[in-house]
Structure 1
Amino acid sequence: MNKQNKNITAERIQQRFATLHMTQRELAEKTGKTETTISRWVNGSRTPFATDYPILSKALQCTCDYLLGLSSIPTKTGIQEANDKMLLEVLKRECEKYPLCMKRCELCKTNRMIEELESTEREENQ
């Protein structure tokens, strides 16, 4: 990832912090990452791995495209939400083809984190 994209991701994370009145510690708890990792993402010295973006976008209530600087609109449209759900289902089916992974690969970890975040959101909305 080039320097410009690193800065865009860092800026977008900072913008979402401000919008959501969230701290780095809260984001670390929601994503299962360390505060040091979150700090590096925020200051632009590191960028999230590809598998981190779904978890990060869910926690920050925005799209991956927004975090990557591919969209200026932070929230999802109905079409994007439907596409994300379809993609997640495809990824889960793909993962099920490889039982030897024992649910330890990054994809499985990402799926579990997304499921936990969705479960927490459902509980909060009830």
Structure 2
Amino acid sequence: MKSGEHGYTLAETVTGLLVLGLVLSFAVPTFLELKAKELEQLSKVEAMSLLQERAEKMSVRLPFSGQGKEKRKSRLLPRQSYQLVWRGSFPKPDLYQIEVEVQWRDQSGKQRRMSVKTHRFRPLR
């Protein structure tokens, strides 16, 4: 550039745009992958919260013998819903078993499942 002129030359502008394009070609896919992982982790955390909530409700209402189903909408993710299935039983007279399972479809449409099983001891009177 000659002295007294202002601005950038065509070569400098094209070089800058090429560098910017190269950086974006790596940054955008990485960002999208991180966003997908974040949504997956968020749905897992919410599913675990629903499992824990249902198991605690069942353990408070001892004895609960039977089973049930419930469909819950996500509080965090739009268009996401969870199917909860639970069962309470007495495998032995003094042992109470709680089983809770949650199922959902993730953002890619894949079926996901998480479950928890717990036991409570109830001494015979």
Length-normalised TM-score, structure 2: 0.23
- Greater strand share, structure number: 2
Which of 1 and 2 has higher RCO (CA within 8 Å, sep 6+)?
1
